[in-house]
Amino acid sequence: MEKLDATMRVLRPYPHVFAFYDGRIEGVRAYSSEPNWLDDGAYALGICSYAIVDGAQALVYDTHISLDHARLIRRTLEAEGVSSIRVLLSHCHDDHVAGNAVFADCEIIASAGTLAALTAHREAMENAAPPIKPLVMPSRILDGDTTLQVGRIAVEIRHVDIHSFDAAVMVLPESDLLFAGDTLEDPITYVDEPARLKIHLDDLARMGGWNVGRFLPNHGRADVIAAGGYDASFIDATRIYVEKLLALDGETATAEQDLQTFAAEIFGSGAVTYFAPYEDVHRRNVEAVIGRHSIS
């Protein structure tokens, strides 16, 4: 069987940043032709993990979608002379933690919310298709916002309640850079906690107030990531889309619109780019918000 990481690309948006990008390849699936979390939730949309590196130290931001992917990340860093690896989990979702076992001998850092969610969903994740087994749990739990030093690079880890209640984003003040996890996604956010969307809007505004210049998401365009990331209009695009979802109440005609029509404003602004596989994400988002079915 072909290894799952056969199409992974290693990008270097900055000298001290590695981006491990896979998927978003038309007609290609990595795991199975059957519906599954790896292909439908990550690979088809494009999925990117990161590492911040200085000298012999590295901080890996999410362990990617399989052990093969995680091994490639580790191999790449070790080939660069890294001998000390820590991991930070952006949040609890499967496509961000599936490679944890490859870093079982490293410190794996996460928020208390991420630990609680992984504990609650461990059995389901270990028995999913594909299974994440064993699910290696975080070994260090963040006590509020925390600054780490990766070699000479200061990394500020901040908790935000966007996309998922447990999200941890990273700010590199000296590089004017924010690693967004799934809090920002090109073209649209994935609504997994529809009841919390108003809270997500509040925290998007708070994140916008940090005045960071560049943003690197875990789901976005490889060419934009390789070129250094998105600008702050990415936050506005996310806000506008979420506001439109929240205004759907009783708006039957708008709820029927496809993504290209529904979100024409954000595509017109150039902040994000229409991508057809997100039609399914949008349909699911609309259904989640108007309550046709609930999402676990």
Residues in contact with Zn ion by CB under 5 A are: 93, 182
Contact between 87 and 109 under an 8 Å Cβ cutoff? The reply is: yes
DSSP code of 20?
A: E
- Quick one: 37 or 230, whose CB is closer to Zn ion? 37
Closest distance to Zn ion from the beta carbon of 164 (Å): 6
- Quick one: 68 or 94, whose CB is closer to Zn ion? 94
DSSP code of 40?
A: I
Q: In a 3-state reduction of DSSP, which class is residue 93?
A: coil
Distance (Å, rounded) from C-alpha 16 to C-alpha 80?
11
Provide the edge-to-edge strand list for the sheet that holds 177-181. Answer: 146-150, 153-162, 164-172, 177-181, 214-217
Closest distance to Zn ion from the beta carbon of 36 (Å): 16
Closest distance to Zn ion from the beta carbon of 167 (Å): 8
Q: Which residue has the tokens 């939730």?
A: 41
E strand or H helix at 283, and its extent? helix 278-290
Closest distance to Zn ion from the beta carbon of 93 (Å): 4
Closest distance to Zn ion from the beta carbon of 91 (Å): 6
- Quick one: 82 or 242, whose CB is closer to Zn ion? 242
193 is written with which tokens? Answer: 């906690």
- Quick one: 176 or 280, whose CB is closer to Zn ion? 280
Query: What is the CB neighbour count within 10 angstroms for residue 150?
Result: 20
- Quick one: 66 or 175, whose CB is closer to Zn ion? 66
